[in-house]
Structure 1
Amino acid sequence: MVNESDTSDRLAPVLRPVRAGNGFEEALEQILQVVRLGLVAAGERLPAERELADRLRISRVTLREVLKVLQDQGLVESRRGRYGGTFVRPRSDTHAGGSEEELRRRVADVDIEDILRFREVLEVGAAGLCAAHGLSEEQADRLRAALAATHDAPLADYRRLDTLLHLTLAELSGSATLTAQYAAVRATVNELLDCIPLLVRNLEHSQHQHTALVEAVLEGDADAAREVMREHCGGTAALLRGFLT
């Protein structure tokens, strides 16, 4: 069974108090990001209603309206009983590449170049900030753990854990605004990545880059951290351009 506190820690980069006036819309946006980013995997349970409502600073009535929308869209399901709660449902299009119709729909709705450039700016900036400002021992342990999870990940779970590693780095940059912007852009990038196959050779290369990146951050080498991240983002961009444009 998944540890509830582990799940809550995973959601920290995304869930934040919403602003008065747009509580429903902003809460829906954030929980959609949690699902789209795979921070709660298919079959896993979302945090309890009380915890979600407290973290988002909304009423449980508003939260239930949000969860009802997600349930109507087939993204989550509610289960009763002692081990009940709200669970993320498996996506219907998780087979490699998705359908041609799905691919065309996603690409038509996205300015790929704009997304890739913005992602690179945020990622390179976050890596540089983490290295330049330094991490506490607890923060360093979080980053190491996120990296280790990607090394041990089965292929089907790799992109979710890769996302978590990058989100952890963004959060450790110390900028809540950067973290929120990165979570949003990464959700879009993941939608595009779902349109292309997982390539083992590319994943092996990515893992080498991840390791070099974390080492640079922990050593406080901001220039190296930025350069490794720039190369890493460039590799992903090249794959997406090759398959989708």
Structure 2
Amino acid sequence: MQSVDVAFTPVAPRRTFEGAVEQIAERIRLGELAAGDRLPSERELAAAMQISRPTLREAVRVLADSGVLTVRPGSAGGTFVTSDYVPIELLRSKSDLRLDEVAGVLEARRLIEPRVAQLAAVNAREEDFAHLTRLIERQQELLDDGDVLAHEDRFLQLDTQFHVRIARATGNSTIVSLMRTLLRRLEIARDLALHEQPVAPWVIDVHERTLAAIRSADHERIERVMDEHLAAMERAWERATDRMLVRPIPDFMRPVAERGRDRAPE
């Protein structure tokens, strides 16, 4: 079995152990590593993160104890992903962003994500559509099992993977990195939105319509469904903080065609 080509980055010296755990866990949580995938060798992974091999072994041990990784001995062995599900507790820096700072991230997301979806419509391959479809099916399976709140973190992880997969469908690694950063910083706001019933059925529905819009390559259709998608989380943040975000969106963020219609002579 070949190792999966996933880029790892240096870990900050003052948090080497926690940083190594978080980085591996995040790659799995975002869907960049899946159950059955093999991580790079210990030597390669320690070099990529710029940490010692004993530190990496301790991080792997924690992830193995959590049921996320398994280490197999022998010439065909290595470190393998055991589970697609990563407990949110392994991402210790989740709470680094305060709730009142989420507004800036929401504004950045509104500026970026609709354009990401439109670029995905241009560059997506059939395997991207198949992967997005499977993520929606897995969310529906959780909903069909009963109370989504009993599986809220699993549902949230699939939601995050859906958005990351759209970014990956663009074929642009810089965009993937941007979306990864935005989504990680939105954990608090996304968790707030998920607790508001009946959000789970709506999330599945809007994901289905988002996928259909991207398949259609109709940029106005993508714009409409993404506006609905983003507005839901913005409203959740407003209810949680009793503050208002700027809506409707500023003129410079509106589609060129729409601005042209607004300025047409009577």
Distance 1:240 1:220, change over 3 A: same
> Given the alignment of the two structures, is residue 190 of structure 1 paired with residue 187 of structure 2, yes or no?
yes
> Given the alignment of the two structures, is residue 117 of structure 1 paired with residue 88 of structure 2, yes or no?
no
Contact 2:116–2:167 under 8 Å retained in 1: yes
> Given the alignment of the two structures, is residue 180 of structure 1 paired with residue 171 of structure 2, yes or no?
no
In the other structure, the counterpart of 1:209 is: 206
Structure 1: gaps spanning 5 or more residues: 94-102
Distance 2:186 2:218 in 1: 27
Contact 2:105–2:186 under 8 Å retained in 1: yes
1:81-100 CA distance string (max 9 Å, x none)? 7799687874569xxxxxxx
Contact 2:129–2:211 under 8 Å retained in 1: no
In the other structure, the counterpart of 1:144 is: 133
1:28-73 CA distance string (max 9 Å, x none)? 76862553587179xx9795453587589727964653564687xx
The Cα of 1:202 is off from its aligned counterpart by 1.7
The Cα of 1:190 is off from its aligned counterpart by 1.3
Distance 2:11 2:180 in 1: 19
In the other structure, the counterpart of 1:50 is: 40
1:175-205 CA distance string (max 9 Å, x none)? 2111111111101111343356623312222
The structure with more radius of gyration? 2
Tell me the secondary structure at the aligned position of residue 111 of structure 1. helix
Identity among equivalent positions (%) equals 13
Distance 1:50 1:169, change over 3 A: same
Tell me the secondary structure at the aligned position of residue 217 of structure 2. coil
Q: Once superposed, what is the RMSD of the aligned Cα atoms? A: 4.4
Structure 2: gaps spanning 5 or more residues: 243-266
Q: 2:11 aligns with which of 13, 24, 44?
A: 24
- With normalisation by structure 2, the TM-score equals 0.62
> Given the alignment of the two structures, is residue 159 of structure 1 paired with residue 156 of structure 2, yes or no?
yes
Q: 2:196 aligns with which of 196, 199, 210?
A: 199
Contact 1:50–1:60 under 8 Å retained in 2: no
Distance 1:210 1:17 in 2: 29
In the other structure, the counterpart of 2:239 is: 242
Distance 1:224 1:201 in 2: 24
Distance 2:217 2:70 in 1: 47
